[in-house]
Chain A
Amino acid sequence: MKEEVVTVENLRKSYETYLRRGLFARERKIVEALKGVSFRIYRGEVFGLLGPNGAGKTTTVKILSTLLLPDSGVATVLGYDVVKEAVEVRRRIGVSLTVEKGFFWKLTGRENLMYFGMLYGLDGPELKQRVQRMLELVGLEELGSSDKLYEEYSLGMKARLSIARALLTDPELLILDEPTLGLDPPSARLLRELLIRVAHEEGKTVLITTHNMFEAEIVCDRLAIINKGTIVAMDTVDGLKRLVSEDITLEMLVVLPAKVSLKQLREEISEVVSGRVEVDPTEEGTRIRVVMKPSEKEQATQEMLRKLHSMGCSVRRIEVKEPTLEDVFIELTGGK
């Protein structure tokens, strides 16, 4: 049975905000950031919270990091209540809320980590070793930037240091709010690979919020799509895609030998696949489109290739068309 690391039950949170109406007058407004959010995260998985701006992602992350109190509902981390047992929760989490600040500008990366490590209870040789290991892990040592002042860091380096701090105390749960926002591709890739590694190889649990569909698809084992304070869907990436469309389309471009007609090709293909088959001549060759269930994809493709080969057809291109995570996101959040 999978071990629950994070349990969130019917979490609600409202903020009081004020709209300025002139120099002294202001209008009170209540914003409902979370309207009964529930989810669970299991050990060793990367769980993504995907949602548009103002959806409630950061509010959820702040509640789980013990930096915000919910109005109602329950949230626990490794069995500890984030409200009543905040100190116990803090001992078990590593947090990165923003990548562009959160460190002392006049300290080097190493000094910053030494300070925060001590603040979080590490000391002596253990602290030095952990700091060194984290600097190596996030690649700052390799870049020769560990002993540079933070004020000289690029955004990519700041993000790496932020992840290093989150990992410093060897926490069981990592909570990362948009960790790759604004990063250059190499830095973003390094961080993504790192997250996957710490989750799948070291058994850490990762909660990540993101806007980035590509990132969500690559990094997350499961995703919750949150919109206007409500979770509208939660599943694996493939599971979410199936919410939009049950089928995928396999498209092939082939060159037929003279002896094979289009009708014959359609009949032969229909024998090996159960989905709808369309065959159309194009300028480049003959296009075959088969609509099928995702579960049939592997076997059907192999059967089709075998059949085409036996008929003497040469295959120029194969493409699988399925709904993207972006399609799912737009469909579920009503975005345009």
Chain B
Amino acid sequence: MGLWTLLKSGLILDIYFFKNNRAQLVSMFAWPYILLVLMLGMGFLFGSAETFKSNVGVEADPVVFFVASTLIAMASMSVMWEVGGTVLFHRWTGTLPYMLIAPYRISVTLVMSYIPRYLLWSFMQLAEFVPVLIWREGLVGGLADALVMGLAIVIGMLPLLGFAAIFGSFLLTIKEETNVLSWLNPIVLILSGAFYPAYLFPLWARFLSMILPTTYTFELARISSLLGAPKLAEMTFLIAVLLGMSIFYNALSFTLMGKAEKKALKSGAV
């Protein structure tokens, strides 16, 4: 008994969902490609591959860049949406009280039971992009790209867990069933430089961009798409920043979730 079984419970829930909902499995595989095709299609509307590169501000192969961006964007959205939104999901299904009486701290139950889901989904999506990466970068280059992107997914998740748990705790305390994440997610993505480079932002937005962990995750994705011209020092720096943010945001969320738990249990919001 312990955190291992808690992690396994999250995994087994998803496996059961996939087994009984084939349509969900198909859509999970189709969605990243749809997003990638849309992003690339819009990019190429503005001109040649060279124009596209200069418009987007990257030196990499646009396909590889957008594979990386799509993966990281989807993984980031997934953490934000699922960890925060899991409270709502369980409230809607009526399973929330039964989740909360698991013999752990409530925040631990909500966050830990989600991690396997995140890793499963993210790595399944990474796996489906591997053929594209090999096509663009060759066997060794493609696999190396996939490896770095996998690393970005794992390291990028760590600070986001805490960040998303803060919003999850907020949702736990309010009785209204409104998912604030549905409007927060796109804002976070824009501010993180998922769509436009952060240096183009006004000063206040650049500041917000700096404190968002997703900014560094996207930067890591950008660099990972430049593996042909590796910037190991920059990657190491970004990984260090993300690990530092992981400690900060997870410590903060642990404190805030403790307070939110108490407030929710006091107000009868559960």
Residues of A bordering B, CB below 8 Å: 15-16, 59, 62, 65-69, 87-88, 90-91, 93, 95, 97-98, 101-108, 111, 114-116, 118-123, 149, 165
Contact = CB atoms under 8 A, between A and B. Distances in A.
B94 A101 contact: yes
- Interface of B, helix, strand, loop or mixed by DSSP: helix
Given A102-B95, A114-B12, A118-B12, A67 B270 contact: yes
B179 interface: no
A66 B13 CA distance: 24
A106 B20 contact: yes
A114 B267 CA distance: 31
Contacts of A59: 268
B128 to A, nearest CB: 23
A115 B97 contact: no
A192 to B, nearest CB: 23
B103 A118 contact: no
B20 A107 contact: yes
B101 A123 contact: no
Contacts of B103: 87-88, 90-91, 120-121
Interface in B211-270: 262, 265-268, 270
B266 A90 contact: no
Interface string B81-98: 000000000000111011
Contacts of A93: 101
Contacts of A15: 267-268
Contacts of B9: 115, 118-119
Interface residues of B, number: 33
A165 B98 contact: yes
Contacts of B16: 104, 106-107, 111, 114-115
Residue among B20, B102, B103, B266 having the largest count of chain A Cβ atoms under 10 Å: B103
B95 A87 contact: no
A111 B101 CA distance: 19
A273 to B, nearest CB: 54
Contacts of B5: 118-119, 121-123
B213 to A, nearest CB: 28
Contacts of B125: none
A182 B183 CA distance: 40
Contact of A68 (B20, B113, B270): B270
Contact of A119 (B97, B105, B113, B270): B113
B10 to A, nearest CB: 9
Contact of A120 (B4, B8, B102, B262): B102
A107 B265 CA distance: 28
Contact of A104 (B2, B8, B93): B93
A149 B270 CA distance: 26
Contacts of B94: 98, 101-103
Contacts of B4: 123
